[in-house]
Amino acid sequence: MKALVYHGPGERGWDTVDDPTIIDPTDAIVRIDTSTICGSDLHILKGDVPETLPGTILGHEAVGTVMEVGAAVSTIAPGDRVLLSCVSACGRCRYCKEARYGQCLGGGGWIFGHTINGLQAELARVPFADNSTYKFPENLGDEQVLFLADILPTAFEVGVLNGTITPGDVVAIIGAGPVGLSAVLTAQLYTPGRIVSIDLADSRLESALVFGADITINNGREDPVALIMEMTDGLGVDVALEAVGVPQTFELAADLIRPGGRVANIGVHGHSATLHLEKLWTRDVTITTGLVDTFSIPQLMRLIVSGRLDPSRFATHRYPLDDTMGAYDTFADAANTGALKVVLEGSERHSSETQSAGALAVH
Ligand code: NAD
Ligand code: ZN
């Protein structure tokens, strides 16, 4: 089969590799019908993720069709269409029993395209298949569910739920990439009073307005602290979500919240940030961190089925799976291409009328 293989920092190829086979009785083999690329894949390609070894197939978001199941798999069967989550779950360890699959101790967690072969390929081996795949209604197109693999549950669980957004809250969301925009989308499930989106890129802020933000601030030329204090009678926001992953934006989130407010950090950080306890210790603040668990996939799926959540507008570009190399070029140059999510289309993917109606470019 063909797959997108990481060959060490800066090097990738669309290579011919061996077809995957069942290794453990809990495995399934899934044909990838629709996949996509994540910012983390770019981090791996830069060499920032040393545990990903050269030779690994990248990708951790996909929709596919079950081709074969191991002897111990009982809830899916050949022919079933399934969503594959970025997080796998052994289902047996202490954390899996608390639905904290991201922390799985039994060999799960974020493994696809990280520590085992991933999903930008024609076929994939899916470990712990009963616990790590999600069937969905036949009438949904692949693109309607694809973004449940990572960005939507990440923003919802690590941002919206950890930040305990409640009706009427003023919410600042720093970063308007796919994760920040997913936070803009899912924060609205809790009817905040106002959503303020903060980013350095005007094109991303335009997208934030399309996804439902009320106010945008470009912190490259405007002062978000001054503007937000003015907007909130000098108090600050109820909830600040950090969806970038650099020290400045974590520190900005802490500067923006009111006494009693909440900072929910989503961004992946590679450097230390300063926690100004000398300013915060009297202010009754809550700061949370988290790795996505994807426990919310079934809940978010029901919202998509009922039409209350439509993530298909994240799909700004489409490429045949065979041209994954070109898709990476487009995604890596998001500043010029305006890419939010680039969809990789296998030759047998399943689309629907709803999908083609919903999947309009944001711009
Ligand atoms: P992205 O790189 O596509 O988007 C980041 C956005 O931040 C961009 O729009 C960029 O213009 C903006 N930005 C950069 N520097 C900024 C600054 N100083 N101030 C304001 N905006 C700034 O990333 P993404 O895919 O949307 O992911 C966001 C973060 O979430 C990343 O750090 C990613 O690794 C992380 N993430 C975390 C989890 C988790 O489980 N916690 C899961 C997935 C992704
Ligand atoms: Zn586990």
pLDDT tens-place string over residues 230-289: 999 999 999 999 999 999 999 999 999 999 999 999 999 989 999 999 999 999 999 999
CA dihedral over 328, 11, 346, 115, signed as positive or negative: negative
Q: How far is ligand 2, taken at its centre, from the CA of residue 91, in Å?
A: 5
Q: Ligand 1 site: residues with CB under 6 angstroms?
A: 39-40, 150, 154, 158, 174-180, 198-201, 204, 219, 243-246, 248-249, 266-268, 290-292
- What's the token pair of residue 125? 């081996």
Q: How far is ligand 2, taken at its centre, from the CA of residue 307, in Å?
A: 32
CB 148 within 8 A of CB 135: no
Tell me, what's the pLDDT at 349?
Answer: 76
Q: How far is ligand 1, taken at its centre, from the CA of residue 246, in Å?
A: 9
Q: How far is ligand 2, taken at its centre, from the CA of residue 132, in Å?
A: 11
Tell me, what's the pLDDT at 357?
Answer: 39
Tell me, what's the pLDDT at 352?
Answer: 56
Q: How far apart are CA 319 and CA 314, in angstroms?
A: 14
Tell me, what's the pLDDT at 37?
Answer: 98
pLDDT in tens, 172-184: 999 999 999 999 9
Tell me, what's the pLDDT at 117?
Answer: 98
**Predicted structure pTM score:** 0.95
CB 354 within 8 A of CB 144: yes
Q: Which atom of ligand 1 is nearest to the CA of 269?
A: 32
Tell me, what's the pLDDT at 355?
Answer: 45
Tell me, what's the pLDDT at 301?
Answer: 98
- Report the first-to-last Cα separation within the chain, whole angstroms: 35
Output the CA torsion 342→330→43→141 (10° steps).
10
Which residue ranges form the domains of the chain, and what is each CATH number?
Answer: 2-149+294-362 (3.90.180.10), 152-288 (3.40.50.720)
- Which residue has a Cα nearest atom 27 of ligand 1? 179
Query: In which residue ranges of the chain is pLDDT below 50?
Result: 353-363
The DSSP secondary-structure symbol of 281 reads T
- Which residue has a Cα nearest atom 39 of ligand 1? 291
